[in-house]
Structure formats: C-alpha cells, structure tokens
Amino acid sequence: MSGVTRTLTLPGGGRDDRYVMTERPQSTPTETYHPLPQGLTIDDVVVRTAYEVKPGDIVVAQFGETRFGRRVSHLSLPYLAHPQSPHRCGCERCDECDDLDDESRHVCLAPSDAYDDCVVLHVGDVLAVVPALVAARFPPLTRPVEVDRFVIEGPGAPQGPYEGLRAPRTWGPWDRVSISPEAAVQLAEDLNARGAESGLTAEWKADWLVISWSARYRGMLSADRRYGAAGREVIEPDAEGRYRIGRLWRWGLHDEPSA
Ligand SMILES: [Zn+2]
Ligand SMILES: [Zn+2]
C-alpha cells in the first residue's frame, strides 16, 4: 500500500493550490504513529484550514512549507477537534496559550488536559482531517495507554527503570507512580538486592507489597536528618492490578537512550 497518495485542495482553493496526502506511516522504533480507527483510510481525509475545522473532526496531519516544498507531517496521535477561542477553552493558562501574542488569529483545537497543553494553531494553518460526519461511521478514536519509564533517584543508589503510567503534567518526584505487577516484582527484587544497609526492604504478603524502611533511611528523607522512625507501607493493587508507589523515595523520569 505504500506510495498511495491523494492530491487535495482546500474548499474554494485554486487548482494550483495542491496538498499531497500520503498513506499513514507505519510506526518505527523511534517514531510512533497510533493507528486510525479501523477502516479509515486517506480516502476519508479532506484538507481544511484550522479556522474551518469543526467539532468532532479528527485531525490526522498538518501541512507545512519547507525548503523543499510543501510537506505533509502525520501526527503521532490523531486527535478529536473541539475548536474554541484560546483563553476561552477553559485551560488554566497552559504554556501554549500563555505564549500567544494575538489570540484573534489563533484557534485552540483541543484544550489542555492532565497530560498535554492545548493544541493552538494559526487560523491559516492547513490540516488533513476526517470530517466528523465521516468519522461517525467508524469506531471512535481511542487514546492509547501511554507509559513513561521511571527511575528511583535516591536517597542512595539510583535504581530502575520501571515502566509506569504516563506522568501527568503536574506530576512531581514525590508523587505516586502506577506500575504493573511485573514491574512491582522487579522493583521489590531490586530493592532487596541492595542489601539491608540501603535501609529499604520489600516483601510480598499474597499480592500486597510491603516496603519497610529503617530509621536512618527515614532520616535521610526528612529535612532534619537526625530524626526518623522505622516504618512500613502496605501497597495493595488497585482495581487494574497496578501498584501506586510514591513518597518513599525521589522518582525521576528515565532518559531513553537514543535508538
Ligand atoms: Zn491552553
Ligand atoms: Zn486551549
């Protein structure tokens, strides 16, 4: 199927104003292209300016001018449009909206959520979209489960990484990370492999993970290092079987080695 293209024009655009739409690329190890709802193809795509995008349209790609001419770039994660005026989209001044010099010439196509800033585009930006009426004939657009890799940064030796659910924008190093049962088993093994002098031990009571700390370890976490009491936390799996672990150490995001 590679090499299939369609040449599209904007509504009211001249015949010379052409946009070449290509097949959605396959994911590679470095680039992920989440699939469109099953059955959708480039035959279902039209070009629209950001100003013309309607609620319920699925935005799949954007056209840009480069030194080598006009090029389509496919979005890693197609999104459902909810066009609104920036600053009236309900976002609490995300970075995208905060930087905006002239809101009258921009449109917010998707308001910020726990993970991402608003999608703010110039009204004249050209997009490839599946119109809402067409999209309605296919299964709904789903958001994939997204993950990050987390490391224990300290106190003590770094450890990890462990895969956990993607960190929301407000996430901080002392917040909880939601890891799978497999990652929890690995984490417990790694903690115990460090030996008792690390101040942390892990054990399983059926499917409960019990993490114990020494007084000295607790002292390392507090501002005043002289004080600390030994203790333990029992972590039960949540409804999805995941373990939400936080406040026992400083988590950090793992920098992926470039492939
Ligand atoms: Zn915003
Ligand atoms: Zn917005």
Q: CA 112 to CA 169: how far, in whole Å? A: 10
Q: Could you tell me if 105 and 83 lie in one domain? A: yes
Single-letter amino acid, residue 218: R
Q: CA 113 to CA 169: how far, in whole Å? A: 9
Q: CA 173 to CA 254: how far, in whole Å? A: 12
121 found inside a domain: yes
Q: Could you tell me if 67 and 156 lie in one domain? A: no
Range(s) of the domain holding residue 154:
147-253
Is there a contact between 211 and 235 (Cβ–Cβ < 8 Å)? yes
Q: Could you tell me if 131 and 198 lie in one domain? A: no
% of the chain beyond a pLDDT of 70: 95
116 found inside a domain: yes
Q: CA 187 to CA 152: how far, in whole Å? A: 10
Q: CA 236 to CA 50: how far, in whole Å? A: 46
Q: How confident is the model at residue 145 (pLDDT cuts 50, 70, 90)?
A: confident
- Quote the ligand 1 centre to 81 CA distance (angstroms): 14
Residue 12: what pLDDT? 83
Number of folded domains that form the chain:
2
142 found inside a domain: no
Q: Could you tell me if 155 and 248 lie in one domain? A: yes
- Quote the ligand 1 centre to 120 CA distance (angstroms): 8
33 found inside a domain: yes
220 found inside a domain: yes
- Quote the ligand 1 centre to 232 CA distance (angstroms): 41
- Quote the ligand 1 centre to 97 CA distance (angstroms): 4
Q: Could you tell me if 21 and 130 lie in one domain? A: yes
Last residue of a domain, one of 75, 103, 135: 135
Q: What is the pTM of this model?
A: 0.75
Last residue of a domain, one of 105, 135, 165: 135
Q: Could you tell me if 13 and 90 lie in one domain? A: yes
Q: Could you tell me if 32 and 130 lie in one domain? A: yes
Last residue of a domain, one of 102, 135, 168: 135
- Quote the ligand 1 centre to 115 CA distance (angstroms): 12
Ligand lying nearest the CA atom of residue 84: 2
Ligand lying nearest the CA atom of residue 94: 1
In this prediction, residues 143-171 reach a mean pLDDT of: 91
- Quote the ligand 2 centre to 91 CA distance (angstroms): 5
Q: CA 168 to CA 149: how far, in whole Å? A: 13
Per-residue pLDDT of 11-29, as tens digits, reads: 887 767 899 999 999 998 8
Ligand lying nearest the CA atom of residue 82: 2
19 three-state secondary structure: strand
